[in-house]
């Protein structure tokens, strides 16, 4: 579920935790660890206790809390990866059953990571591990600030479909399945176009569309489709789904040219596009 606009909205929604000190942590039904060497819940709880949340930032589709302990003033990073159904909440969760982490601060606020499917991850790592895992070699530039030139450089020799490349977090960080379709519709590019056929000019258009769509989606606090789906930190649905031009609209008319929107499958994921006004290069 959560892509860049949703994670950005979550981060803004929990910004009120900055500066607060962690009093209690509970990991009921903790999610599986990203890898066997990840810290266990007990280890994390011990490190988090009486630590201060220094700041909260988004890194691609992850929320990162920088943590500092009084007695060992070295940064560590609490990283949340919501994957499909993870949510960061500061109000009561939809069910108790899927609470993966509950933090109470000394100031009596509650921060909850809730994840119905349990595919999301929580990890607490030091600076060097953080950089090894999430440095620029592992993660492309943020999708909000990608330039056409940077995109062109990254993909010009690739034979992959552009839609599949946009989902690759090494190319650019933050775009997921919903926004990839929306961006290519805005840029008027067929999702099945192979990257090496895209000119610098067309890459400029994709980068511009990327920034416009994502900024608008952030303004609307992300996309919520259905009931058990993404919510803001205070448990409200986002509103950007009202602005979707292609995602989930197969067989409906394109708003731009009235042609029927098509659904195809690429890399085992649904892609929606207008076969008339999105050009194949």
Q: Which residues are known to be catalytic?
A: 2-3, 61, 269
Given CA atoms 145, 7, 18, 57 in this order, what sign does their dihedral have?
Answer: negative
Contact 245, 255 (CB under 8 A): yes
Shortest distance (Å) from residue 21 CB to DNA: 30
Query: What is the spatial distance between Cα 188 and Cα 206, in angstroms, rounded to a whole number?
Result: 8
Bridge partners of 142, per DSSP, are: 173
Contact 64, 127 (CB under 8 A): no
Shortest distance (Å) from residue 102 CB to DNA: 18
Shortest distance (Å) from residue 83 CB to DNA: 4
Tell me if 160 contacts DNA by CB under 7 A: yes
Reduced to 3 states, what is the DSSP secondary structure of residue 271? strand
Binding track, positions 34-53, relative to DNA; x by CB under 7 A: xx------------------
C-beta of 120 vs 148, nearer to DNA: 120
Tell me if 58 contacts DNA by CB under 7 A: no
Helix (H) or strand (E) run with residue 245 in it: none
HSE-CB for 60 with a 13 A CA cutoff: 24
Given CA atoms 175, 177, 181, 182 in this order, what sign does their dihedral have?
Answer: negative
Sequence-distant (≥ 6) Cβ neighbours of residue 242 within 8 angstroms: 220
Binding test (CB under 7 A) with DNA, winner from 269, 275, 276, 277: 269
C-beta of 20 vs 168, nearer to DNA: 168
Tell me if 169 contacts DNA by CB under 7 A: yes
Binding track, positions 216-255, relative to DNA; x by CB under 7 A: -------xxxxxxxx----------x--------------
Centroid of chain to Cα 260: 29
- In the block, residue with structure tokens 């119905």: 116
Tell me if 276 contacts DNA by CB under 7 A: no
| Span 73-132, contacts to DNA by CB under 7 A | 81, 83-85, 95, 97-98, 116-119
C-beta of 86 vs 148, nearer to DNA: 86
Shortest distance (Å) from residue 122 CB to DNA: 14
Tell me the C-alpha to C-alpha distance, in Å, between residue 87 and each of 57, 113, 142. Answer: 15, 6, 21
DSSP 16-32: GGTT-BEEEEE-TTPPP
C-beta of 22 vs 274, nearer to DNA: 274
| Span 182-201, contacts to DNA by CB under 7 A | none
Binding test (CB under 7 A) with DNA, winner from 51, 105, 177, 202: 177
54-72 burial: b if 16+ Cβ within 10 Å, else e: eebebbbbbbbbbbebeee
C-beta of 53 vs 176, nearer to DNA: 176
Residues of this chain that interact with DNA (CB under 7 A) are: 1-3, 32, 34-35, 60-61, 81, 83-85, 95, 97-98, 116-119, 157-161, 164, 167, 169, 176-178, 223-230, 241, 266-270
């Amino acid at each position: 579920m959560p892509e860049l606009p949703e994670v950005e909205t979550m981060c803004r929604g929990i910004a009120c935790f900055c500066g607060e000190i962690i009093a209690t942590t509970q990991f009921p039904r903790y999610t599986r660890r990203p890898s066997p060497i990840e810290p266990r819940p007990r280890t994390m709880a011990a490190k988090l206790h009486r630590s201060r949340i220094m700041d909260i930032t988004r890194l691609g589709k992850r929320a990162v809390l920088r943590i500092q302990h009084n007695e060992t003033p070295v940064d560590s990073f609490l990283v949340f990866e919501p994957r499909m159904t993870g949510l960061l909440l500061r109000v009561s969760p939809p069910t108790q059953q899927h609470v993966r982490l509950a933090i109470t601060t000394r100031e009596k606020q509650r921060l909850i990571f809730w994840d119905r499917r349990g595919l999301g991850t929580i990890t607490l790592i030091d600076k060097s591990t953080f950089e090894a895992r999430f440095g620029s070699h592992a993660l492309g530039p943020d999708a909000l600030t990608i330039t056409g030139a940077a995109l062109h450089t990254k993909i010009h020799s690739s034979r992959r479909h552009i839609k599949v490349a946009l989902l690759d977090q090494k190319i650019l960080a933050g775009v997921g399945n919903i926004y990839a379709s929306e961006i290519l519709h805005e840029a008027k590019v067929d999702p099945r176009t192979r990257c090496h056929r895209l000119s610098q000019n067309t890459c400029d258009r994709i980068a511009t569309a990327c920034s416009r769509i994502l900024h608008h989606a952030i303004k609307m606090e992300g996309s919520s489709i259905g009931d058990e789906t993404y919510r803001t930190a205070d448990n409200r649905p986002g509103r950007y789904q009202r602005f979707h031009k292609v995602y989930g609209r197969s067989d409906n008319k394109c708003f731009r040219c009235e042609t029927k929107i098509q659904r195809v499958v690429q890399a085992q994921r649904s892609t929606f596009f207008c076969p008339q006004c999105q050009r194949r290069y």
